[in-house]
Every structure is written in structure tokens, then in C-alpha cells.
Amino acid sequence: MHLDSASIDAMPSRERAALINSLSGFKSANLIGTADAESHCNLAIMSSVVHLGSHPPLLMLVVRPGGEERHTLHNLLRSGHYSINHVAAGMVDAAHQTAARYPRDVSEFEATGLTPSWWDGFTAPLVAEAHVQLAMQLREHQELAINGTHLVIGEVVQANIPDGCLKEDGSLDLNAAGTVALTGLDSYHRADLMKRMAYAKPDLPPRTLS
Amino acid sequence: MHLDSASIDAMPSRERAALINSLSGFKSANLIGTADAESHCNLAIMSSVVHLGSHPPLLMLVVRPGGEERHTLHNLLRSGHYSINHVAAGMVDAAHQTAARYPRDVSEFEATGLTPSWWDGFTAPLVAEAHVQLAMQLREHQELAINGTHLVIGEVVQANIPDGCLKEDGSLDLNAAGTVALTGLDSYHRADLMKRMAYAKPDLPPRTLS
């Protein structure tokens, strides 16, 4: 099946959104926790966290204009703090429900039954039920002229990782941590490790590890 | 296990890279195809393609400074064209091998046994073995001052999608398409669908679809 700009443009809006949201491949599933000046909490599921660099440890988040995500953006720009919490298999229903358009004075924590967790010196709530919790300090923000989305760049300043999930090389075993993957707008997946590949070198064929 | 900025900073460089590359969650696995002015091809695996918007259909790619990726960046900035090709399960070895630091005059297609495919009016090669192939037109490029990474924003101008992989709502079934997910720097996964969630509404509890 072949699509071009004209056929994509001609699609009904919802179908186009479902398709284009699928084209990048598998996505991360994270809950973003923030608080306003009165410590009213907001929690929003996002699939757009990506790695930007490891020294300093930077992650980037794409936030759409308008919608539920504007509370998240407002809060994190005010305080400079936000949390990134991996969605684990047992949290999928509650995590997805945070996408509902609750009124501003309703906390998605209360509405979905998730529990805010507070860390010393950090003004955004983390999600107690999450196995991987990251405290983020805002480093850079920009609005893209091309479509009004916001790029939020932050540094990992604290991290909670479940014991026994770190591999020898330093990497985190996301399957062991229970983390799920997202596709499109609504599909949640558990992932099975196929293989780990050794560092690629021009003079050696591809090799699997362990 | 709790980490803070000091303990992250104190980690050996390779372990820190492995850890921080794991913290965003599951990642997309894509091969980026480009060509230079003489149609010499370059192919590079990247895990940083993210959805930016669906109307127009925009995807963003994070390209690290230096390294193998600089050929990709050089080529796509010159021509404005690049391809995004989903890594399918049968292509993992070849796809990972494109990360080796081949000399500039060696095409990763030839070195790894993948086949370039050319589309009318499009100057970048696609990967014939990939089930999902996207032709991208560069729309915006910037280098981030914070760590020298490059953001490449492009529009999907043509797409090849396997028949039978589109769901009723317009989304693409990535499992049916054979697409794999990446974690960290080297781990490839097949994903099993756990559940699809219905559109979240404040006055309804979470509901699964089909």
C-alpha cells in the first residue's frame, strides 16, 4: 500500500492521526508528574520522551499545544521540576486514564487512584506505583514554529531504579522493570528480548551477546 | 536503588551511556537512508525517531554530533531527502551492523547486505527489505547549544505500508508489520500486544477495546 502527501492529506483527521502516530515505531510510555504553586498535582501520559545525551544526562519531551498537556507544560515551566515515571504493566489502565480531559482543579492522581510521592527538595510529585522514577530539572524549552509543539529538555537529577534490574554493562533491563511500550495512541505492549547485539565493528560480522 | 547527579556523574562513561540510554523507555528502531551528490549511499540505525504532529505529518530525529551519524546529517542537509525504514525482526543483524564506523566511501548497504530501493523523484535510498518505508522531506534543522545534538524535522511525503497491517481506526499494526523495538544501545525486542485502551473520558472508567 503506497501513500503520498495528497492521500495522507485527504484522510479523515482521526484516521490520519492514528496512522501518523504509528509511523515512528514503538514508543516509550511515561507518566509526567507536575505541581502548581499550591502543590495541586497533575499527571499526564506521554509517549514522546527520547534520549538526548548521557553526559549531562538529558531527556527531551515533545508536548503538544493545547489539550490536557498544557497543564503539565504550565507547571513545569513555572517550577522547573517534573517527574518521568515508566508505565509498568499493572498501571496501564490508570496511566491511560490520565489522558482524559479533567478540569484543572481535579488531580489525575486522585481521579485514577495513583499515589503521589514527594522527594526532598523536589517540587514535582513522582508516581509511587512506578518502578522507574526520574526527577527532572528543566534545562531548555522552545516552541517550534512549524506546528506549535513544545520541546522540553531536562536533566535527570535523581533516579529510582528497582534493585536487580541493572545489567552488568550499566543498562537497565526494562522487561525486568515491568516497563511497557506504546504504539499509536492507545496500544500497550510487553516486549520480549529477541537478542542483544555486540558493539558493531567494520571488520567483524554481527554478533549476539550472551 | 537511588541515584543523584553526583553518582550519575561519577559513573564510568560507558556504563553511564548504557544507563541513561535506557531511562527513556522503549525506543523505535529505524534505518535512516541518505545519499551524497554522487548517489553514494549511507545507512544508519537510529533509535530517536519521534512523532511531532500528524497534520502535516511530521517526525523528528535526534542526531548525535560526530560519529557515524555525521554522514547521514551531511547528506540529508544537502539533498533535503532521507528515508526512515522500520527494522523488522529478520533485519536486526544487518541493521545493527550499520552502526560500525565504516569509511566514508563504503556503503552500509553493501557492507551489510541490505538492498537500496529508489523511488521516482526521491534522491535518498529506501531499504527494500523493510516492510514499512517512509520518504522524508527535510523541513527544519537545528543544532542544540546544550549538547551539540541536531534535531532534524521532516515531513512524510510518501509511505509504503504492508497490506493487511492497517487497523480499522487507521493505525498501523506494528506487530503484524514485524517491526521491532530497541532498548538501551543494543537490545532488540518483539512486542506482544497487552491491550488497546478506549479514548479516555473524565466521566468513564478505563475500558479496553476489542
Contact B111 A21 (CB under 8 A): no
Helices (H) and strands (E) in chain B, counts: 5, 14
B56 cis-preceded (ω within 30 degrees of 0):
yes
Q: Coil, strand or helix: which one is B210? A: coil
User: pTM for the full model?
Assistant: 0.96
The answer to whether the beta carbons of residues A167 and A77 sit under 8 Å apart is no
Q: Between these two residues, A45 and B70, which has the higher pLDDT value?
A: A45
Q: Coil, strand or helix: which one is B25? A: coil
Predicted confidence band of residue A58 (pLDDT cuts 50, 70, 90): very high
Mutation target for A interface from B85, B183, B185: give the one with most A CBs within 10 A: B183
pLDDT at B68 over 80: no
A6 at the B interface (CB within 8 A)?
A: no
Q: Coil, strand or helix: which one is B92? A: helix
Smallest Cα distance from A38 to chain B, Å: 23
Predicted confidence band of residue B67 (pLDDT cuts 50, 70, 90): low
pLDDT at A61 over 70: yes
User: Which residue in chain B is spatially nearest to A60 when comparing CA positions?
Assistant: B24
- Residues of chain B contacting A26 with CB distance shorter than 8 Å: 26-29, 174, 179-182, 191
- Report pLDDT digits (tens) over B15-57: 999 999 999 999 999 999 999 999 999 999 999 999 999 999 9
A54 at the B interface (CB within 8 A)?
A: yes
B6 at the A interface (CB within 8 A)?
A: no
Predicted confidence band of residue A210 (pLDDT cuts 50, 70, 90): low
pLDDT at B70: 82
Smallest Cα distance from A37 to chain B, Å: 24
DSSP string, B133-195: EEEEEEEEEEE-TTT--EEEEEEEEEEE--TT-B-TTS-B-TTTTTB-EEETTTEEEEEEEEE
- Residues of chain B contacting A17 with CB distance shorter than 8 Å: 54-55, 170
Smallest Cα distance from B77 to chain A, Å: 18
- Residues of chain A contacting B53 with CB distance shorter than 8 Å: 20, 64, 147, 149
Contact B194 A172 (CB under 8 A): no
The residue-averaged pLDDT of A13-35 equals 97
Pairwise CA distance, residues B54 & A185, whole Å? 12
Contact B171 A151 (CB under 8 A): no
Closest partner residue to B52 (CB to CB) among A97, A149, A186 is A149
User: Which residue in chain A is spatially nearest to B159 when comparing CA positions?
Assistant: A3
The residue-averaged pLDDT of A132-161 equals 97
- Report pLDDT digits (tens) over B91-150: 999 999 999 999 888 999 999 999 999 999 999 999 999 999 999 999 999 999 999 999
* Helix (H) / strand (E) containing B207: none
